[in-house]
Amino acid sequence: MSDTALRICPFCEATCGLTLTIDDGRVTGARGDLDDVFSHGFICPKGASFAELDNDPDRLSAPLVRRDGVLTEVGWDEAFAAAAEGLQRVITEHGGASVGLYLGNPNAHTVAGGLYTPVLVKAVGTRQVYSASTLDQMPKHVALGLMFGSPVAFTVPDLDRTDYLVVIGANPLVSNGSLATAADFPGKLRALRKRGGRLVVIDPARTRTAALADRHLAPRPGTDAALLLAVVHVLFDEDLVDLKHLAGHVNGVEEVAALAADFSPDVVADHCGLPAEDIRTLAREIAAAPSAAVYGRIGTSTVEFGTLGSWLVDVVNILTGNLDRPGGAMFPLSPIAPAPRPPKPGRGFAIGRWRSRVSGYPEALSEFPAAAFAEEIDTPGDGQIKAVITIAGNPVLSAPDGDRLDKALAGVEFMLSVDPYLNETTRHADVILPPPPPSRSAHFDLALNALAVRNNARYSPPALPLDGRPDEAEILSRIALVFYGVGVEGDPALVDEQVIAATLAKETADPQSPVAGRAVDELVAMLTAGPGYERRLDMMLRLGAYGDAFGTRPDGLTLAKLKDAPHGVDLGPLRPRLAEVLRTPTGRVELAPHQLIDDAARLRDALGARSDGFVLIGRRHLRSNNSWMHNLPALAGGSNRCTLQIHPDDAADLGLTDTAVVKGPGGELLAPIELAPGMRRGVVSLPHGWGHDRDGTGQRLAAGQPGVNVNQLNDGGVLDPLSGTAVLNGIPVDIAPAG
Ligand SMILES: Nc1nc2c(c(=O)[nH]1)N[C@H]1C(S)=C(S)[C@@H](COP(=O)(O)OP(=O)(O)OC[C@H]3O[C@@H](n4cnc5c(=O)[nH]c(N)nc54)[C@H](O)[C@@H]3O)O[C@H]1N2
Ligand SMILES: Nc1nc2c(c(=O)[nH]1)N[C@H]1C(S)=C(S)[C@@H](COP(=O)(O)OP(=O)(O)OC[C@H]3O[C@@H](n4cnc5c(=O)[nH]c(N)nc54)[C@H](O)[C@@H]3O)O[C@H]1N2
Ligand code: SF4
Ligand SMILES: [Mo]
């Protein structure tokens, strides 16, 4: 007899509810949960492959420890002891500051990543912290921090209600949405058009999302900031600025007007490769729409002017009065966001509080650029990284110049990876601690609920028992205990109880907290009796915006209530809440932070400096997920291939028939071409996450169709200066026929 279990899908930001089929203690199928309050049955090919991923025979089921140079399966006690010994050795000799950490993307999709990596980073006490954020959304964090005083004050397009949506540099029909958590993004875009709304897509490639749009503008890559600044120019020039409810809450409008004065559509048209009239029409339509939202993602973020572009997305939303109102760009309210306090000025936001050792890059959100990880490992001197910990990441493929990082990692004194796969990065580890498969982990969206286009709360307990292995919460807690000085054999519950005690002490002492003045012991005793992560989630929910405030609001949320609602709790449409979110010292939106105004000088210089060579961009595929899902039969093959997409006329001009040599600033590679009539002339695309041809990895299917590592074309020398984010889109390349 089959059984079923509900499980939120952790493979992308859409957070679809899945119904898993379970036979004989293993997952055998997955379909969309029709009753899920958020996803209503939507599913994509990756979610549908949950069983294959869960049961992948190449997934590590036991820890690996390097013995005489060879990674060898050992028991958990031995592996933890080896991890502790290796780390301790380096800490004793070089100090905790010599430990470098790299945190990869799936940390945003696991309970362990959300709750324990912050504890671990603090316990290690190093400034050598790197993550996929500087290959992704760091520009947005910096822009939000400077504008709103909080780097996590994300807005999302109010997809269900907007009349006019501009998607710039995103392809949600394939990615299923990012920094905008919306299960069934495709359905929501169709619904928008059906109710008479309009969709504009700005992308150098005619993507599936662009094909759905009322209008597709195909600019030259890397020019979104100039394009958006020209939109701002038109808004001022044609007297279309209308702050509406935001009037009186925004500083710096004149400074933005002054900046935009130099960037008329006619001035930027050549740089952007678009007719000036198209830019004017866009600005007029955004201003005229009853409600509108501009939504930008990777193509606006991982580019030379990433922070400027990410900022200007919100500048347009603000100048047209579309920030923080239904149908516009709104701030979600996560169930674990602290209960709102009365508005008060914040301390503001700073970047560059310290700088990296080798290239002097400024920190952003206490991280250095992922593109600088290798140089901090392989450059000798004081402060050099001597030990590396990677958690859920594969920077050898995901960051620029993986060959250099590959060599650097081979030379560190000790490396620990927490990862289910032996891959291009983890193959260098001395110890690999594999987390259990997703069916044996609990799920709660700590990060993504704060980006949801409709407020909701859902919890999935583990669908299957752990079978004697530690979960990832325990793995990360035990590593933290090494740095606490307690030792790896300590009680991992210590970590949770310490966080709980510290959080509740702070809350009860805060006169604005819903638990002000109460006894910490009393509150601790009220928490659920489950594992530590459940106790922490219960605490966060109860202190949160919808929480029961530990009994004060009996109708409020607790973890027990979520467990009683396995399809989730709908918390309603987004509602205006700018005042709660603002943390600037002035208590107003800072539309013109000086760092951004100053950085625009680079943009001015770029306008005159265009070259006519080819530029490279990236793309994603519905059946691929960064570097780590190329090992599943259901997802591999077909159109999911690592090809160089190029316009047929460009291919003909170059005499390309099958394979091209592509040369970039960081190296060259051979790739099969794929004719793509939807690609802008002069632009080519290669997907990332491929290049599975290195020795000593353990993903057999992926190794059989390795593809090439696009990031080897990139030397990582060009970063968005404010955020330290690598330029991954808009890279100059030379292309020629192979042979
Ligand atoms: N199926 C699938 N889903 C995924 C992932 C995956 O690998 N596979 N990855 C997940 C992750 S980690 C993330 S961060 C999200 C990303 O989510 P998205 O940002 O929606 O993903 P992309 O498909 O990379 O879309 C970026 C688009 O920007 C375009 N572009 C490139 N350069 C420029 C430019 O200069 N200007 C403009 N306007 N457009 C440009 C590209 O052509 C591309 O269509 O997707 C997530 N979802
Ligand atoms: N050229 C180019 N490069 C890019 C991009 C691009 O668009 N173009 N996109 C960038 C973006 S947006 C991102 S987010 C990065 C991603 O960069 P990374 O996060 O470095 O790479 P991933 O391929 O996502 O690797 C995820 C790793 O997590 C492991 N993993 C999966 N599930 C779990 C789990 O539950 N626990 C643990 N501990 N590990 C797990 C996988 O085995 C894999 O090793 O790539 C970036 N690189
Ligand atoms: S869209 Fe994302 S969350 Fe939904 S099933 Fe697919 S991978 Fe999972
Ligand atoms: Mo990402």
Nearest CA to ligand 3 atom 6: 44
Stretch (H or E) spanning 409: helix 402-410
CA of 276 to the centre of ligand 4 (A): 32
Residue 726, classed as helix, strand or coil, is strand
**Structure tokens, 672:** 């099969």
Nearest CA to ligand 1 atom 33: 299
What is the CB < 6 Å shell around ligand 3?
9, 11-12, 14-16, 43-44, 46-47, 176, 183
Residue pair 677/402 in contact (Cβ under 8 Å)? The answer is no
**Structure tokens, 728:** 């991954």
Stretch (H or E) spanning 234: helix 224-237
Nearest CA to ligand 3 atom 2: 12
CA of 663 to the centre of ligand 2 (A): 24
Counting from 1 in the atom list of ligand 3, the atom nearest the Cα of 48 is: 5
Residue pair 668/662 in contact (Cβ under 8 Å)? The answer is yes
pLDDT at 344: 86
Q: Using a pLDDT cut of 70, give the percent of the chain over it.
A: 100
pLDDT at 609: 79
CA of 105 to the centre of ligand 4 (A): 6
CA of 540 to the centre of ligand 1 (A): 32
For 526-587, give the DSSP string.
HS-SS-HHHHHHHHHHHHBTTB-TTTTSTTSB-HHHHHT-TT-EEEEE----HHHH---TTS
Domain architecture of the chain: domains with CATH: 1-55 (3.30.200.210), 60-126+366-445+459-566 (3.40.50.740), 138-336+577-602 (3.40.228.10), 611-737 (2.40.40.20)
> Considering all CA atoms of the chain, what is the largest pairwise distance in Å, rounded to the nearest integer?
76
Residues of the chain predicted below pLDDT 50: none
CA of 132 to the centre of ligand 2 (A): 7
> Which residue, 615, 611, 683, 613, is CA-closest to 645?
683
Per-residue pLDDT of 518-560, as tens digits, reads 999 999 999 999 999 999 999 999 999 999 999 999 999 999 9
All residues at 6 or more sequence positions from 297 whose CB lies less than 8 Å from its CB, including other chains: 167, 168, 169, 170, 175, 178, 179
Give the count of beta carbons closer than 10 Å to the beta carbon of residue 151. 20
Q: Which residue has the tokens 């925004």?
A: 250
Per-residue pLDDT of 287-346, as tens digits, reads 999 999 999 999 999 999 999 999 999 999 999 999 999 999 999 999 999 998 988 889
CA of 717 to the centre of ligand 1 (A): 22
Q: Which residue has the tokens 């309210």?
A: 333
pLDDT at 163: 98
pLDDT at 405: 98
Distance CA 608, CA 360 (A): 28
Residue pair 442/6 in contact (Cβ under 8 Å)? The answer is no
What is the CB < 6 Å shell around ligand 2?
104-106, 110, 132, 135-136, 298, 391-395, 398, 418-421, 423, 435, 472, 618, 626-628, 688-689, 710-711, 728
Q: Which long-range contacts (CB under 8 A, 24 or more apart) does 32-37 make?
A: 33/6, 33/567, 35/567, 36/6, 36/183, 36/458, 36/567, 36/568, 37/456, 37/458, 37/567, 37/568, 37/569, 37/570
Residue pair 524/501 in contact (Cβ under 8 Å)? The answer is yes
Counting from 1 in the atom list of ligand 1, the atom nearest the Cα of 689 is: 7
Residue pair 159/321 in contact (Cβ under 8 Å)? The answer is no
Q: Which residue has the tokens 């955004």?
A: 286
Partnered with residue 103 across adjacent β-strands are 131, 391
